[in-house]
Amino acid sequence: MKKRLLLIALAIVVALPIGWYFLAYEKAELSVDAVTGATPELKQPVETLIPTVNVAKGIGWPEGAKPTPATGLAVAEFAGKLDHPRWMTLLPNGDVLVAETNSPPRQPPPDPSIKDRIQGWVMGILFSRVGAGVPSANRITLLRDTDGDGVAESRSVLVSGLNSPFGMAIAGGYLYVANTDALVRFPFTPGQTKIDAEPEKIVDLPGGYNHWARNVIANADGSRLYVTVGSASNIAEHGIALEEGRAAVWEVDPATKKHRIYAGGLRNPNGLAWEPTTNALWTVVNERDMLGSDLVPDYLTSVEFGGFYGWPYSYWGVTDERVKPERDDLLEYTRKPDYALGPHTASLGLTFANGQTVAPQFAEGAFIGQHGSWNRRPRSGYKVIFVPFKGGKPAGKPVDVLTGFLDGSEEAQGRPVGVVLDRTGALLVADDVGNKIWRVTGTK
């Protein structure tokens, strides 16, 4: 039996480069623009055993290099020499908290098949190449611009020893931190530069498997917290039981430490933000893989209480025939997303203009950090975009804010993740390959 398994594994290793070559050159037929907006064009799926592979190697920024801002904007380094900065939170006194973090060790699915093992091996290679294979720093660093010149002159480790932290929120005298496996909090007053208290657990969060990042924001009075939890898999291929509590936004009551599912069917929600004219909750979601370069578009959507957004059974009203049993009975209850952001863009960061504008043309709408594809040809994302809004809804095509993260050889000098406005209205962008935070302002 062992000999047979060894022969199978050897055959796979020999055959894989051939299959890899053809899969790597599966190309998009549609432009990113065609798969963007309220009514994206959806072509027929191209199902693959291994995803289309087109990895942008993470190389970092050459000395003096920086991203390219849109006309009328300028960009400068706010902070550098960070360790995989992914997410930021602005404090009331103007300090900026940044989560220096990365994925925990990848947990294989229960009873993995040969297909699972192959895919896991491939993903490990890919993550290492794009710069996501380094250990997590597991800390939150406080950055302070002491003289108001747009550069963080002061930094300190606010809290360390966390477990792949991501989202952060300030409410009711506490700093809430979304670790990969739990929402915790610390007593905190803006102005502090170090937290010595032990974390208090509010709720456990589903950990392990895929999609490790957990985000958290508070409502206006801090009485409720909203937490994102991504799926454990691509399309529930290891059984729907493994997905319990996942692919969802949770609503947490910090006083009672109880929670409920606020909305579900969201494969991998990341950025969360309150739209300022309607006060509605919005999120950006990373959609499913292995259907080719043109499918499925990531999206920006409002999040309704009790809403179901399709995962894993469907996307944009289309049944995913790979998922068994099919649940076409759910289609009439499934809410379509508001706005497609293009296929495989890995849209993660989200913040609204909220009256503080980088420049007049960005007065109303959403800034989105697109981390960039690893499984699309040609590559998509790798930029910061702005989706204009009117009356609380998207209104028009996205506008590039910050580009140039890929160099002339299409390798990644940087990859944008979290976005937040500072107290002057400038846009801060976390770059987890360049290990910097960029500051985008209007030119005078």
Tens-digit pLDDT profile for residues 283-292:
999 999 999 9
Residue 26, pLDDT score? 84
Distance of CA 135 to the CA centre of its chain: 18
Amino acid making up residue 123: M
Q: Indicate whether 2 pLDDT > 60.
A: no
Q: Which residue has the tokens 């398994």?
A: 5
Question: In 399-421, which positions are buried (b, 16+ CB within 10 angstroms) versus exposed (e)?
Answer: eebbebbbeeeebbbbbbbbbbb
Residue 12, pLDDT score? 42
User: What is the per-residue pLDDT across 428-443, written as a single tens digit (0 to 9) for each?
Assistant: 999 999 999 999 999 8
Which of 401, 359, 396 has the alpha carbon at shortest distance from 382?
401
Distance, in Å, from the CA atom of 374 to the CA atom of 151, rounded to the nearest integer, reads 32
Better-scored residue on pLDDT, 113 or 366? 366
Q: Indicate whether 129 pLDDT > 70.
A: no
Sketch the domain layout of the chain as residue ranges. 2-442
Which of 125, 8, 38, 62 has the alpha carbon at shortest distance from 409?
62
Better-scored residue on pLDDT, 23 or 234? 234
Band of pLDDT at residue 32, cut at 50, 70 and 90? very high
Distance of CA 375 to the CA centre of its chain: 16
Percent of the residues in the chain that have a pLDDT greater than 90, as a whole number: 83
Contact 379, 352 (CB under 8 A): no
Distance, in Å, from the CA atom of 343 to the CA atom of 34, rounded to the nearest integer, reads 10
Band of pLDDT at residue 213, cut at 50, 70 and 90? very high
Residues near 356 by beta carbon (within 8 Å), at least 6 away in sequence:
421, 424, 425
Residue 419: φ, ψ to 5°: -135, 140
CATH assignment of 2-442? 2.120.10.30
Q: Indicate whether 251 pLDDT > 70.
A: yes
Q: Indicate whether 126 pLDDT > 50.
A: yes
Quote the tokens at residue 169: 């929120």
Amino acid making up residue 157: V
CA dihedral 135, 136, 141, 145 (to 10 degrees): 60
Which of 153, 151, 122, 156 has the alpha carbon at shortest distance from 139?
156
Better-scored residue on pLDDT, 370 or 55? 370
- pTM equals 0.92
Query: What does pLDDT average to over the chain?
Result: 91
